[in-house]
Amino acid sequence: MVLLTGRLLREAILQQSALSPVDASSSPAKTAALVDAVLAVADRCQQLVDSGVPAVTVEEVDFGPLLRAREESADPGVATARLADILERLEGLLP
């Protein structure tokens, strides 16, 4: 889960595209929302693994919507909405 968290942090927060008008810069509120979302997803993934869900199953979840949130809008609410979507997908992994 540490590697998954690192990948999510890198792809959702640290990578930015200077060619994208939305992603070329990020407000502190948007950055904080993205960080909070990624860390909440990482925490939930670890909880699932601790409860017996195989790590490989967690890693197969499509985290794309969260990763694309930084490019979609300058609105911090987009990251929050993507967080809710990913958490719902993760809950589907429970037996």
Residue 40 is part of a domain; what is its CATH number?
Answer: 1.10.1140.10
Buried b (16+ CB within 10 A) or exposed e, 52-90: ebeeeebeebebeebbebbeeeeebebbebbbeebeeeb
Number of structural domains (the chain) is: 1
What pTM does this model have?
Answer: 0.91
24: domain range?
A: 2-91
Q: What is the mean pLDDT of residues 51-67?
A: 96
Q: Given this model, what pLDDT does residue 61 score?
A: 97
pLDDT in tens, 20-38: 888 788 899 999 999 999 9
Q: Given this model, what pLDDT does residue 54 score?
A: 97
